[in-house]
Amino acid sequence: MSDYIARVFDPEAPPSHPLDSLTPGEIRTAATAVRAQASDGKDLLFSLMLLEEPPRGDDRLLESPPRERRIRVVTLNQSSRHTEEWTVVVPSGQVVGHEDLTAQGITAQPPIIVDEFMDVERIVKESPDWQAAVRRRGVEDFELIQVDPMSGGNFGFENEKGLRIIRAVSYLARNKEDNAYAHPIDGMVTYVDLTNMRVLAVVDDEVFPIPQEDSNFHDDNGISPRLDLKPLEIHQPEGPSFKVDGWEVSWQKWSFRVSMNAREGMVLHDIVYDDEGTKRSILSRAAFAEMVVPYGDPRPSHFWRSAFDVGEYGLGALANSLTLGCDCLGSIYYFDTYMCDGQGEPYTLERSICLHEEDFGVLWRGANWRYGGNWVRRTRRLVISFWATVGNYDYGFFWYFYQDGTIECEVKLTGIIQTAYLAPGDYSPYLGRVAPELAGQHHQHMFCVRLDPAVDGPLNSVVEVDAVPVPMGPENPHGNAIRKVTTVVERESQGRRDTNLGSARTWQIINEAQSNDFGSPVAFKLSPAQTAMMIADADSSVARRATFAKTAVWVTRYSPDERFPSGDYPNLSSGGDGLVSWMKQDRELHQQPIVVWHSFGTTHFARPEDWPVMPVERIGFMLKPFGFFRRNPALDVPTPESKDSCH
């Protein structure tokens, strides 16, 4: 049994806090103001609207409700193809900032707009060159061909300079419900120039047969479900233990605020733990700042694939409406959120954020084997999550809060892999076979989370911690000694840090102004995801644009303008923006307002079990208290009181 609890308050109500998600009224006001100010407001496509959050420590954060807020609006002029930035104050609708980036010679390209997806399919299918390439593969009927627009990257091609480029790949669907990725029209790719709304080129590399085997995976395509799975009901007869007040959540000594924006998706703010009556801050902000999916197939029709799903598309804009009992199970609280479409109109993402709690096994256990006695507590965790569909892949972004003060972040990856033709019996070093004529390209999914620490206050430092063996000798005659070696990250020139499995490397975010009972600085430990970093060559286009994915941990000085690790405009950028640029300032990091960026990912060699739909793969990291509390903070968790309790 699942219980639908509630959704967020009146969508037309004004914001109650400076960090609340944008409201439909604010979106309308900002769009109206920009159209009125623009030379031809009817020609604008709205690519992005983001709340300009007050900087950390700003007095405006204390205003509830806020007197005014600022919205950053990014538009694309359909006639001039200029990219423009606007700053609008709401609710007044006053435009207080405007820059025509294109007129200034800045080659910024805003994120891809859903309206452009429709344009791409039309432009591609009208192209005589595309039609000829498809006919060479034996296809005459174009109606059911699925054209997937994908971000194009920047490879320095002379004929693409200054243009808004998308590359399009094609698949032959059998019908509207068919899994078209089973039938790639491989060996060709279409380069689309959105600046001039035309096909720039059709790269027709090699003519392959179109795979014929159907690979549908849902029950209305003839899949017979198992008949031996008994119901599993999750029911909280007294309701959940969490409370929601607008966008603020409190549960089991934790409290935080949540918001959603078009680029990062779900954002967590002001994460606090109530330690025996004292509200202790841990994080000021946490969000997925960027992700990239670099593909490892070097052939002409595939080499360019490397989507930046945050900066080129927007996780929030592509978020799903979740389904009770499927995406979320239990007593669920859903948040509705609101986005801006390409015409500047607000639309509702119903049930886009899911909040619930779940049992997670044993919290702690102790036994007295001499005299008897067995003490067990079960752990419960709070789960807040959202899902985004980016083309063929689905990503779930989950944050877990535990009763012992631990925070966990997890990404769940599923969906349909990108496919290519592979003849039966053939081998390719860049492909993994999934079906008789079908393969998936080797690729990676690389994520970057931005963490704004506030461990017992706004000024923190980062210490790298390694477990180092002591050489055998007089000090260590039996060779078993382990020494803890710490390295303080003093400046940004030292701020790029790699994982080391051999030394069990972790990082501690410390506050030297606050000591625990034993004289050590209070700390939270970052236990990283132990994964390979981006494999692509450092001089490759994707590595220049996504340098964040080459290093596991980056530490920078906090600046409200430094939000995205590949810069504000990764779409078609040549690289060098974001983290690598900011760190050249070599700012001091010791007991300062800092940002910790954690990059992690998974390397995907496609396997038959990933086809036709990929089972969920999980990857993530943990933040654990380390000398932050005086003892185990979960000693007061009560024994279970259900009829099945071990007590």
Active site residues: 309, 393
468/73 Cα distance (integer angstroms): 50
DSSP summary character for residue 321: P
Q: 358: which strand partners? A: 381
Neighbours of 575 (CB within 10 A): 19
Rounded-to-integer distance, Cα 73 and Cα 95, Å: 10
- Return d(Cα 165, Cα 150) in angstroms, integer: 9
507: enclosing H helix or E strand: strand 506-515
Distance CA 551, CA 536 (A): 13
User: Of 117, 46, 43, 34, whose CA–CA distance to 80 is shortest?
Assistant: 43
Please state the length of the chain: 647
- Strand arrangement of the beta sheet that strand 407-415 belongs to: 3-6, 331-340, 346-367, 374-390, 393-402, 407-415, 614-625, 521-527, 506-515, 461-469, 482-488
What number of CA atoms fall less than 13 Å from residue 559's CA on the CB side? 15
Residue 296 amino acid letter: G
Amino acid at site 336: D
Contact 184, 171 (CB under 8 A): yes
Six-digit token string for 431:
């492909």
Give the separation between CA 499 and CA 129, rounded to whole angstroms. Answer: 48
Strand runs (DSSP E) across 391-430, as ranges? 393-402, 407-415, 419-421
Q: How many helices (H) and strands (E) does the chain have?
A: 5, 32
CA distance to 4, 329, 398, per residue, from 412 (Å) = 23, 16, 8
Contact 277, 636 (CB under 8 A): no
Give 524-545 as a DSSP string.
EEEE--------S-TTSHHHHH
State how far the alpha carbon of 403 is from the alpha carbons of 96, 258, 305, 362, 528, in Å.
45, 19, 42, 11, 20
Distance between CA atoms of 540 and 544, rounded to whole angstroms? 6
Q: CB under 8 Å to 118, separation ≥6 — which residues?
A: none
Rounded Cα gap, residues 45 and 82, in angstroms: 10
Closest among 345, 357, 308, 373 to 570, alpha carbons compared? 308
Q: 71 with 32: CB under 8 angstroms?
A: no
The residue type of 225 is P
Specify the DSSP element, H or E, that contains 145: strand 145-151
Cis bond upstream, residue 625 (ω within 30): no
Reference 388, options 563, 263, 293; nearest CA is: 263
Quote the tokens at residue 231.
Answer: 């119901």
Separation of alpha carbons 89 and 94, rounded Å:
5
Tokens 């694939």 locate to 305
